[in-house]
Homo-oligomer: A and B are copies of this chain.
Amino acid sequence: MTATKKESEIKNTENSTPSTLSDAPIGVFDSGVGGLTVVREIMRNLPNEKIVYFGDTARVPYGSKSQENVIRFSKQIIHFLRTQGVKAIVIACNTASALALDAVESDLDIPIIGVIKPGAHMAAKATHNKRVGVIGTESTIRSRTYDRFIQQQDPEIVVFGKACPLFVPLVEEGWLKDSVTEEVARRYLSELLRKDIDTLVLGCTHYPLIRSLVGKIAGDQVTLVNPAYETAQELRRLLEQEQLINTGENNKKDEMHQFYVSDAAEKFGEFANSILPYDVKRARKINIEEY
């Protein structure tokens, strides 16, 4: 083991960064399966990056939890991901990005990003009439974190938030193109659309999976912002800046990505395989309370 490590270190002195670091995986976590839409964008946009994913399926959903608990959960998960030797961390959960990112980033010596800032930046860029809608879980909307980051870019932008608590269970039921989901979306969005928004942020990681349905109701005049995609772009910039991009030359095809959950690993694996461009052979269950 030590010998192999040494060999690869020697081999990689030609590169600007030691292989042990740029070859390391990206840690991605979420309260459950939703963060897999972020994993999907990372796989599509940074195909050489290895991923260690943790889905906190034993404590899902974070949307109804207090800030104190969400911070505690996030610290445990970051501790676990560090044991997996990750070079950077993506909080692929809007609630944890809103409630915990500030509290955890100061303690870390590796880069960490959430999904909210990249989404907020794109929304501020996309809007012409300076009226932006944000949909998400109750706690994301209540925290007004999107509002804050959007208005940091341009204080003149007016942000309208709307919590849509039924979208997550509808997506998890698999009713993605469905008359019930459409009626629910129509009700949730009508209030926002009356505000004459021209940009709508899909502020929950499950929502990209009903993107086309939401787009149909919002209409062509509304630009949809997908923070999962923007986060993958932000991650690329960050890795380039820190010279941490994986060139892929030391990657092994087999089990390039690792998936961990705190409960119900089998069900997770099925959902993961239904949305990822990657064959998830198994998800491993760990006791996250031990971290």
A residues sitting closer than 8 Å to B (CB atoms) are 57-60, 64-66, 69, 165-166, 168-170, 172-173, 179-180, 183-184, 187, 263-264, 267, 285, 289
Contacts and interface: CB of A to CB of B under 8 A. Distances in A.
Nearest to A66: B263
A17 to B, nearest CB: 40
Contacts of A64: 57, 60, 263-264, 267
A242 B57 CA distance: 41
Contact of A59 (B59, B166, B169, B173): B59
A58 B59 CA distance: 8
Nearest to A60: B64
Contact of A166 (B58, B170, B289): B170
19 contacts: A58-B65, A58-B66, A58-B69, A60-B64, A64-B263, A65-B263, A65-B264, A66-B263, A66-B264, A166-B169, A166-B170, A169-B169, A179-B183, A180-B180, A180-B183, A180-B184, A180-B187, A183-B183, A289-B289
A172 B60 CA distance: 16
A121 B187 CA distance: 41
Copies of this chain present: 2
A73 to B, nearest CB: 10
A113 B99 CA distance: 38
A9 B60 CA distance: 47
Contacts of A172: 165
A141 to B, nearest CB: 14
Contacts of A69: 58, 263
A23 B210 CA distance: 54
A267 B139 CA distance: 12
